[in-house]
Amino acid sequence: MKTSTTVSRIALSLALAFGVAGAGIVLTPPAIAGEKPPTVSPAVGKPLQEAQALLKGNKGKEAAEKATAAVAAAKSPYEIFVANEILGASYINAKDFPNAVKAFEASLATGQMQGPEKVQRLKMLTQVHYQSKNYPKTIEMANQYMKEAPTDTEIPVLVAQSYYLQNNFKQASESLRAIVKSSDSAGRPVKEDTLNLLMSAEYQQKNDDGVRTTLEMLAVRYPKPQYMKDLVTMYEKTLRGGSTKTALDVFVVKFNAGLLTNAQDYTSLTELALQDGLPGLAKKVMDKGTADGILGQGAQKDREARMATMANTQAATDQKGLASGEAEAAKAKTGEALIKYGEAYATYGMFDKAVAATEAGVAKGVADKDDAQLRLGIVYIQAGMRAKGLEAFKAITAGTPSAGVAQLWRIVSQNQKS
């Protein structure tokens, strides 16, 4: 049973295409040079004339009976075409939309309708089938239409939705990714709803990689906090069981993306920063949480105050020893210590020194090259050198924890570009 809303939409589509009483019906196919205009036999012409007269009197049901007789008598493609056009118009007048669609499909199938009229008819039939929830016919008509109008941007979405609504999620995903590819190539924006449908289709297939890549597109193209939050959550699951440093890295991404929302988040990040020897980061986190009214308000305010004091004290001591510590690190055979000092400089906003120390550390060589490239890319981004940061990330081995953290930084930095 169709809802009244659906019926109204179908009626509107057909009425706009053909007119309530059948005005606008195409009865003459394109003329062919050197040929006489096509005609119909009296057996077809007489009932059609009667049907048209009845349509003028707004008697669609009676007109349909006459036009049905004409269809039965029709022999040539042109007679079948004309008879079904009038029959379709009669059914529209009688508000019998399913039979109207069948008649217009029959007239289209004769091949007598060409050019813009054929293209418009195919599009209308695609839309009407979709509105009436006949999804296989929607796809059938749409495929014909898209051969005639390959640049259309509306109908491919109906095709993808039709696959989805038939639970053919694999085909829906393929169709939607083709839309994204085509839109990107043409420089057209992809609608947020389209990407959400793609993500849902991937989810239905339990394709975590597909969900993640779609979430990444949403987070960049429609930078809403929820998309970034969901994306970070996905990465946390894949990185779970990794090092404490990886956990700290993900927390820092959250901090930079504005995703820390409660006191536990802030204190957990502070603890990890202190454990990793980055009191400058710990101080920055505590200062932000306090300024935003998240820390220092609840039952843990005394503990939070002690953590803030610890972060401030250690940061003050750390800053005093940065220069001498870096000088000692420069004497080491490998670059790990220099990279660590580069990371520390960045927490105090000393980005020139941070970049120099990190570059020097990478140049010396390190055991974990992926982590070194990650630190280099991050410090470039923090210093406002995003292009160089993204270039540094390219050297990271795919599938590693460092690669996952780097991808989050790509997205966060994209959203923060001025």
Q: Which percentage of the chain shows pLDDT scores above 70?
A: 90
What per-residue confidence (pLDDT) applies to 98?
86
What per-residue confidence (pLDDT) applies to 25?
46
Alpha-carbon distance values, 82 to 31, 33, 107 (Å)? 15, 21, 7
- Model confidence pLDDT, tens digit, residues 219-260: 999 999 999 999 999 988 887 656 789 899 999 999 999 999
Q: With 90 as the cut, is the pLDDT of residue 270 above it? A: yes
What per-residue confidence (pLDDT) applies to 205?
96
- How buried is residue 273: exposed, middle or buried, by Cβ count under 10 Å (0-12/13-18/19+)? buried
Mean pLDDT of all residues in 262-282? 96
What per-residue confidence (pLDDT) applies to 297?
87
What is the C-alpha to C-alpha distance for residues 276 and 263, in angstroms, rounded to an integer?
20
DSSP symbols for 13-24? HHHHHH-TTSTT
Q: With 60 as the cut, is the pLDDT of residue 29 above it? A: no
What per-residue confidence (pLDDT) applies to 38?
77
The residue among 94, 125, 93 whose CA lies nearest residue 107 is: 125
Q: What is the pTM of this model?
A: 0.80
Domain 238-415 in CATH 1.25.40: yes
Contacts of 261 (CB under 8 A, 6+ apart): 294
More confident residue, 122 or 237: 122
What per-residue confidence (pLDDT) applies to 23?
37
The residue among 261, 195, 194 whose CA lies nearest residue 225 is: 261
* Residues 70 and 86: beta-carbon distance below 8 Å: yes
* Residues 352 and 383: beta-carbon distance below 8 Å: yes
Q: What is the DSSP letter of 37?
A: P
The residue among 117, 112, 111, 107 whose CA lies nearest residue 87 is: 107
CA gyration radius for the chain? 34
- Model confidence pLDDT, tens digit, residues 162-189: 999 999 999 999 999 999 999 999 999 9
What per-residue confidence (pLDDT) applies to 95?
87
Domain 4-26+41-114 in CATH 3.10.590: no
Residue-averaged pLDDT of the chain: 89
Phi-psi region of 243 (alpha: psi -120 to 50; beta: other; left: phi over 0): beta
* Residues 57 and 41: beta-carbon distance below 8 Å: no
Report the range of poorest mean pLDDT among 92-101, 207-216, 341-350: 92-101
Report the range of poorest mean pLDDT among 1-5, 112-116, 333-337, 387-391: 1-5
What is the C-alpha to C-alpha distance for residues 59 and 52, in angstroms, rounded to an integer?
10
Q: With 90 as the cut, is the pLDDT of residue 35 above it? A: no
- Model confidence pLDDT, tens digit, residues 37-52: 678 899 988 998 999 8
More confident residue, 241 or 122: 122
Q: With 90 as the cut, is the pLDDT of residue 315 above it? A: yes
Report the range of poorest mean pLDDT among 34-43, 68-77, 79-88, 261-270: 34-43
Domain boundaries, the chain: 4-26+41-114, 238-415
Q: With 80 as the cut, is the pLDDT of residue 22 above it? A: no
- Model confidence pLDDT, tens digit, residues 186-199: 999 999 999 999 99
Domains 4-26+41-114 and 238-415 share a fold: yes
What per-residue confidence (pLDDT) applies to 242?
61
Alpha-carbon distance values, 115 to 26, 29, 137, 144, 267 (Å)? 12, 9, 22, 13, 68
Token pair belonging to 32 = 């062919």
What per-residue confidence (pLDDT) applies to 417?
55
